[in-house]
Amino acid sequence: MADQSPARQATAGRRQRKQQETRRRLVNAARSQLSSGGIESVTISSVTEGADVAQGTFYNYFDSRDAIVDAVIYESVERLGQRLDALTAGMPDAAEIYSFSLRHLMNTAVSDPVWGWVMIRLGIAHDTLLRTLGPRAARDLQIGVDSGRFTIPDVSLAAAMTFGALLSAMQEYLEGRDREASATLYAEYLLRMAGIPAPEAHEIARRPLPPLPDVDDDLA
- The pLDDT tens digits of the residues spanning 45-90 come to 999 999 999 999 999 999 999 899 889 888 888 999 999 999 999 9
- Same domain for 142 and 39, yes or no, is no
Residue 212 in this model has a pLDDT that exceeds 90? yes
The CATH number given to whatever domain includes residue 51 is 1.10.10.60
Task: Report the pLDDT value the prediction gives residue 23, as an integer from 0 to 100.
Answer: 95
Q: Is the pTM for the entire model greater than 0.85?
A: no
Is there a contact between 69 and 26 (Cβ–Cβ < 8 Å)?
no
The CATH number given to whatever domain includes residue 154 is 1.10.357.10
- The pLDDT tens digits of the residues spanning 104-144 come to 988 887 777 677 666 656 555 567 777 888 899 999 999 99
Is there a contact between 166 and 137 (Cβ–Cβ < 8 Å)?
no
- Same domain for 28 and 51, yes or no, is yes
Segment 172-185 shows an average pLDDT of 78
- Same domain for 186 and 138, yes or no, is yes
Would you give the distance in Å from CA 191 to the centre of its chain? 21
For residue 1, is it within any domain? no
- Same domain for 78 and 58, yes or no, is no
Task: Report the pLDDT value the prediction gives residue 165, as an integer from 0 to 100.
Answer: 87
Provide the residue range defining the domain that includes 26.
6-11+16-63
Segment 1-29 shows an average pLDDT of 78
Task: Report the pLDDT value the prediction gives residue 155, as an integer from 0 to 100.
Answer: 96
What is the dihedral sign for C-alpha 128, 133, 137, 142? positive
Cβ count within 10 A of residue 20: 12
For residue 24, is it within any domain? yes
Compute the distance between CA of residue 165 and CA of residue 64 in angstroms, rounded to an integer.
32
Task: Report the pLDDT value the prediction gives residue 195, as an integer from 0 to 100.
Answer: 96
